[in-house]
Chain A
Amino acid sequence: MSKDPFKTRLEIAKKKVSKRNLENKKHNPSSIGTAFKLSTELVSAVAVGTIIGFILDKTFGTKPWLILIFFFVGVIAGITNVIKSAKNMQK
């Protein structure tokens, strides 16, 4: 095979690929990834907050109070997490 037909074929193929890439950009898999991210973000922050409260309660001996406070702080942290990643998604 001579070289020139191959080169022209390569050019055509490259154009096709770049065109397809442009079309695919609208729904790339990373949006599904960020959607998966949201679901666990909320729960894990609550869990971490509760664990921190539990540990602090054990060390200071203030049995029910710190776990209660840190539970709600964890809820707030989870909600801010979700809002942050939703904002990142829209960028």
Chain B
Amino acid sequence: MIAELGLAALWLAAALAALQLVAGALAVWRGGEESGGELAGLIRPAAIVQGVLCVFSFAMLVWLFVRTDLSVKLVAMNSHSDKPLIFKIAGSWGNHEGSMLLWITVMSAAGALIAFVERRLPERTMQATLAAQSFVALGFYAFLLLSSNPFERLPTPAVEGNGLNPLLQDIGLAFHPPTLYLGYVGLSVAFSFAVGALITRQVTPEFARAMRPWVLGAWIFLTVGITAGSYWAYYELGWGGWWFWDPVENASLMPWLAATALLHSASVLAARDALRAWTIMLGVVAFSMSMIGTFLVRSGILTSVHAFAVDPERGSFILGLLVIYIGGALAVFGLRAGSVAEGEKFSAVSREGALVVNNVLLSAILGVVLLGTLYPLLTEAMGVRVSVGPPYFDPVGTVFVVPMLLAMMVGPLLRWRGDRLERVRKPALIALVCLAGGLAVAIALRAGVLSTIGLALSAGLAVASVMPLRGRSLRRLPIATWGMVIAHLGIAVALFGMASERAFNKEELAAIKVGETATVGPWSVKLAAVDPVAGANWTAIEAVMQASYAGGKPVELHPQARSFWSPPQETTESALATRWNGQLYAVLGKAADSERWQVRLWWKPFVTLIWYGGLMIALGGLLALIGRVREDLRRRIVQRKAGERRAEAVP
């Protein structure tokens, strides 16, 4: 009964999406509320009820997983009655059907939210926006209901479930997909806004202000998702790597790059009414990247822990949606972009000028990542297998990142519209001196070419990013400006962590007996004991290691080699000792012979800064979001009061 309720809610929601699309399209066609009449009045309620129905449907799925209802195919395939409760819940989106239901749920909830709160834009633009949103949603409803029904029953209930991939039974992973989905789907809202504004040709600063919170929100979730995914790969895969240029990672990086560019160009549009067509274009590109990401990850083209749907039919379905939405949006763009005026002019040396440089370079980096990700798939289709990995992405990416970061050092110091370089000479010189200092230190430490560039740039950027605070009253600084400073500083921090890990990483592979000691960098690590341990659905061999930094007080580490039995798989659980200046990474391997154990140890100086930097970037985004929303609310209150005053003055 639960499953049937969920399915019924989903069908109803799909029907409402169709209604929303038809009503929206007719209203836009006839031109606004006056003539759209009663039909136009249906659009917002349809969006809101649709959101509620989807949330209800998803709740039903989670309930099925919590109860481990083995008569439902999805539960039987992906869950197990022995699993801890948190992983039963997380298991509901740890599979293809459930994750697509989560996607559509988040998307329709976002649609409900804009239908409920967004009243600034001209009503006709809003109708076009909501129609576009329902058009996108409709494709996903069709996909879910026709080829990936999550509520399908088994003819006879299973005796026991298959379990969840052990690699996914991790608390970080439980929240990784929802986080990324919130990001992807937030970009779908930006996409709908862009299409809506394009259809009614009302690409105004107001439109940018309405779209910006959604872009910011999506961008924050993407940042957190990528950061968390990277940290997960780092501690779970057991070899200390934190970024592999894996197509699946690139699939989340590409929307992030596009969203970063969109965020900055929307700021230009909101503040200065410039870059209109470019902002719209980025809105389309950003969501296209989310779709391409979904296609790559879910279609089964790539075999990975993410590829739940290794089913060509589903792959073609997603590809079809991709072509319809991206092609359709680009066609509308091609038809309308010419009639959207370019906007205000500005000179090269200005805030807008630096942001244009940032935008163009971010787009170029996006192009490189896209090329490097898709090209091997293309040649494979033609029968040639090519690997494109770090030796390609690292140097090629650097060529574009260096000028972008240099522009980023100066940009925030410049004034809008037009400025002179002489005015910012002093702070720019200070930043350059720091950059040169970083360069000298890195060369003295023989850090390697890319690491040297990274260390120097991070030193310069760290100083440059706090320069906008110079000579300003810190208490009266807008929250959004704080957000920018912290996010830019976060880039410098993360870059420093990356360069430092690359340059100064120390590795020790040893085979030692219990009681013996291995050393790596400043650490000495004693293997104190090796014992068997057991968890709810796994057994493991656990080492007790006593690690001491430079002869100090030892800390105890417990790395494990785990064996899961449903499904059978072995994983390594690394153990980490974190200090302010880096992390010791310890892994227990197999038995080397009858007495000795393989252990792998790494000392990674400042590696944690990579993820702290990522969190700082997200925090900066959050502050900017809070600042912008507060600004908007204040503006609305002022406008309403002015309206009331006018109304009082009339009689």
* Same complex: no
What residues of chain A have their CB less than 8 Å away from a CB belonging to chain B? none
